[in-house]
Amino acid sequence: MKMLFCVVFALAFVGAAVAGEWHIETVDSEGNVGSFSSLALDSLGYPHISYCDDTNDDLKYARWNGSSWQMVTLDSPTWWVSNTSLALDSSDYPCISYNFGGSGMDGLKYAHWDGSSWHLECVETNGGGDWGNSLALDSSDHPHISYFNQYEMCLYYARWNGSSWQIEFVDSLGAMCSLALDSSGYPHISNCGGYYNLKYTHWNGDTWQIETVDGAWGGTSLALDSSDRPHISYYYGWIGPDSILKYARWDGDAWQIETVDLTGTRDGQIACSSLALDDSDYPHIAYYDVNNTDLKYARWGGDTWQIETVDSVGDVGGYASLELDSSGDPHISYYDGSNGDLKYAYWEGGPGVEGAELSVGVGDGGVLVGWTITGDIPASFSVLRSVGDNDSEAVSGALPGEATRWLDDDVGAGVAYRYWLEVTEDDGTVSRFGPSEAVAYRGSARQIVLDVYPSPASASLSVEFTLLEAGRVTVALYDLSGRRVTTVYDGETTAGRHDTSYDASLLPPGVYLARLTTDSGSLTRRVVVAR
């Protein structure tokens, strides 16, 4: 009797939907407008944007009212306006911090709408400079601003206590900063520090804690995840074609740093990145690709970065600002340098496959390729395969949209294969997921096996494992911080294949790690719990 022993390598794609399209529109084209844009979405998902009018040196604000864009000029200093940062309060009223110059002074200003009129005030004069600020609102809608004083070459932090601005020195050399408040209302700041270092600073309740994360020269953007841990996007390397977009996150013990994309930079061109986290704490980044003068968007799918070009008509993508809506779909404001326009792009999902998770298993029968999808049933599937560095080719033929697995029995023992799943929608749209890898063999099981499905799970979670020999076995679920959430199975077990189940409805939605521990070794698999 042939037995199939599955070793699962899962690759999940979540976040922005696969089925759908980007919508791009021009918001403002009166003069040279759109630099230093900052975007926020209100409770209806409508965009609000602050930005600069470089023709008239004005601060402007635009919002979508459901049928048209409404625009207003808020401030007209004598010299210039730059570095706007926008946040919406609990009433969806806009609040904006910005740098200004005029009337014999320059510095940092703050504007907010109270429901009937705009209020503008100076936070700091004669020293605010024009090298960046970042605004966040606390639970009382009080503004907090990090900013760089270019005359003192120092990073400062200002907060409104209900009656006055409280300003304090944070660190020397802190340009191009990004601010976020944690669940206790404490500030966290990323910035480009001295000698072109990426620095991370946070208030622990008593003092400022400051550390260097990596080398960097700018474009930093900070977000805090559901555990108040920092995630940062930034540009690494000095001005030149080899500059890269990088991403750093704190995992609780150390900084995990990786390259996202090769972007390039050039003198006189400000390259900005904007980071947001989805409900699974996965990063999404909008950024300017100077090499190609394009607006690009990258999102983490759980195993790899998925990168796409959003707009490539002319020199576009400067001062990109990203927000995710309640469905996890991206919205981006940015500058069209070729036409001097403020532009806005958003992803609108449509019917079809929204995501897929691909797995492969190896055994006596060959390689079993399986998949689960979210969204509508497509017209058809096709499994593609490659060996070594060879190009992939279709091996399954067209499979019906209801199919969930396919067995590749034309494999050689000891050969490494890579598999992709190609999805064809009813409208002809084709999307590809993968790869997942497998080394084929024939004969008895050679290693322990753990399979956890479905993912995403909402009710019953099935756990299957195969043991080489009898012994003590533990299967437990952990959160991403490494804390054990629950034990699914714990006991003495015979060799061979076993299965159990767990009620996933008992868990909060999120990403978990299922870990099998045996005398022969351990395995870990990722599982998503959704509602």
Q: What is the CATH number of the domain that holds 501?
A: 2.60.40.1930
For residues 261 and 286, state if they share a domain.
yes
| Contact status, residue 293 vs residue 241, Cβ threshold 8 Å | no
- Domain boundary residue, one of 444, 459, 485: 444
CA distance 173 to 273: 20
The pLDDT tens digits of the residues spanning 367-424 come to 888 888 877 788 899 999 988 767 788 999 999 988 888 888 888 877 778 888 888 8
The C-alpha angle 265, 267, 270, rounded to 5 degrees, equals 60
Tokens of 224: 């805090």
Give every CB contact of residue 391 below 8 A, 6+ residues apart in sequence.
none
At residue 451 the predicted structure's pLDDT band, cuts being 50, 70 and 90, is confident
Determine the 3-state secondary structure of 504 from DSSP: helix
CA distance 33 to 28: 7
- Evaluate whether residue 35 is within a structural domain: yes
For residues 481 and 371, state if they share a domain.
no
- Evaluate whether residue 357 is within a structural domain: no
Count: domains in the chain: 3
- Domain boundary residue, one of 413, 429, 444: 444
The pLDDT tens digits of the residues spanning 156-175 come to 999 999 999 999 999 987 67
- The pLDDT value given to residue 494: 84
The pLDDT tens digits of the residues spanning 460-488 come to 888 888 777 788 999 999 887 778 899 99
For residues 177 and 36, state if they share a domain.
yes
- The pLDDT value given to residue 444: 45
- Evaluate whether residue 336 is within a structural domain: yes
For residues 114 and 207, state if they share a domain.
yes
For residues 302 and 208, state if they share a domain.
yes
For residues 45 and 1, state if they share a domain.
no
For residues 392 and 523, state if they share a domain.
no
For residues 463 and 404, state if they share a domain.
no
For residues 47 and 123, state if they share a domain.
yes
What values do phi and psi take at 140, rounded to 5?
A: -100, 10
For 424, the domain range is 1-17+364-444
Which has the closest alpha carbon to 284: 292, 272, 276, 294? 276
CA distance 129 to 125: 9
- The pLDDT value given to residue 3: 32
At residue 498 the predicted structure's pLDDT band, cuts being 50, 70 and 90, is confident
